[in-house]
């Protein structure tokens, strides 16, 4: 089956055999797709190679053949962001999340829109922590793993002054005051959950509480194998004093 005029974002590209690339993309109408771009590697630059950079928005034609398709044509639709430092790690992180959690060939227009918004936030230099928490929320919602951030798992309204563990299956679970330090450090404040639900940045301390709480949910759905980006961020964190956003 030949698919034409598909708008997509390049998530990742890696060498495939001697002269080709395996390109992973998030398409607007076909969801996550993988295509083989034949003959684009080698000593001579190929016109398609420049359009297959990570974060690049493209229009492509491809022939779908089972799990992987064959790229026929690709055209860059804009200039891809060129993030550096923490923003570059954030770009790698959002793409890796999509690669690991979004099923192939499943239309996910809300995820496509969320990726587009996040990409522009990375381009414009917006605050990384808030940008990533919003993307994690939107990703979970788009792939069917989201839950209410305004009610706990028992249907009670979130208390801004309380702390909540995020249960991957049931949503927020209120912590008792005598819980240990480790569990509290992995719990989000009620203020942070309500702010995320309302798409309004919370104060810094509340925002920071969302990182490990949401990571626990993502880890549950990822399974035993974590993310390479988490390993990279952990290595970087050991070399500098401040904590990374992801």
pLDDT at residue 240 above 90? no
Residue 47 shares a structural domain with residue 152: no
Largest Cα separation within the chain, whole Å, is 65
Residue 59 shares a structural domain with residue 101: no
Q: What is the mean pLDDT of the chain?
A: 91
Domain count, the chain: 2
Q: Which range of residues forms the domain containing residue 35? A: 2-76
pLDDT band at 245 (very low <50, low <70, confident <90, very high): low
Q: What is the mean pLDDT of residues 62-84?
A: 92
| Sole residue written with tokens 């005598």 | 178
Separation in Å, CA 48 to CA 22, 52, 60, 75, 100: 13, 7, 10, 8, 25
Residue 14 shares a structural domain with residue 92: no
| Residue 81 domain flag | no
Residue 97 shares a structural domain with residue 217: yes
Residue 113 shares a structural domain with residue 222: yes
CB atoms within 10 A of CB 10: 22
Residue 137 shares a structural domain with residue 209: yes
What pLDDT is attached to residue 193? 98
Residue 147 shares a structural domain with residue 168: yes
Residue 72 shares a structural domain with residue 93: no
| Residue 105 domain flag | yes
pLDDT at residue 66 above 90? no
Last residue of a domain, one of 51, 76, 101: 76
**Please, are residues 90 and 232 in contact by the beta-carbon 8 Å criterion?**
no
Render pLDDT for 20-60 as a digit per residue (tens, 0 to 9).
999 999 999 999 999 999 988 765 556 677 789 999 999 99
| Residue 243 domain flag | no
Specify burial of residue 67 (Cβ count, 10 A radius: 0-12, 13-18, 19+): exposed
Q: What gap in Å lies between CA 14 and CA 54, rounded to an integer? A: 10
**Please, are residues 16 and 69 in contact by the beta-carbon 8 Å criterion?**
no
Q: What gap in Å lies between CA 184 and CA 178, rounded to an integer? A: 9
CATH number at residue 29: 2.40.50.140
| Residue 202 domain flag | yes
- Percent above pLDDT 90 for the chain: 78
pLDDT band at 241 (very low <50, low <70, confident <90, very high): low
What pLDDT is attached to residue 178? 55
């Amino acid at each position: 089956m030949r698919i034409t005029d598909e708008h997509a974002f390049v998530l990742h590209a890696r060498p495939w055999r001697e002269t080709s690339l395996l390109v992973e993309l998030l398409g607007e109408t076909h969801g996550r797709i993988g295509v083989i771009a034949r003959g684009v590697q080698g000593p001579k630059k190929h016109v398609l190679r420049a359009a297959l950079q990570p974060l690049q928005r493209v229009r492509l034609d491809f022939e779908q053949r089972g799990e992987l398709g064959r790229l026929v044509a690709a055209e860059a639709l804009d200039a891809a962001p060129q993030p550096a430092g923490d923003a570059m790690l954030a770009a790698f992180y959002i793409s890796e999340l999509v690669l690991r959690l979004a099923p192939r060939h499943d239309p996910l227009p809300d995820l496509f829109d969320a990726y587009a918004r996040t990409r522009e936030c990375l381009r414009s230099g917006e605050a990384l922590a808030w940008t990533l928490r919003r993307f994690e929320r939107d990703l979970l919602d788009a792939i069917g793993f989201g839950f209410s951030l305004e009610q706990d798992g028992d249907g009670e309204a979130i208390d801004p002054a309380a702390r909540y563990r995020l249960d991957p299956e049931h949503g927020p679970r209120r912590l008792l005051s005598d819980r240990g330090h480790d569990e509290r450090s992995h719990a989000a404040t009620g203020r942070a959950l309500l702010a995320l639900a309302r798409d309004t940045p919370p104060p810094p301390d509340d925002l920071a509480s969302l990182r490990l709480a949401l990571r626990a949910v993502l880890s549950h759905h990822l399974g035993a194998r974590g993310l390479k980006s988490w390993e990279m961020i952990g290595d970087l964190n050991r070399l500098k004093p401040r904590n990374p956003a992801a």
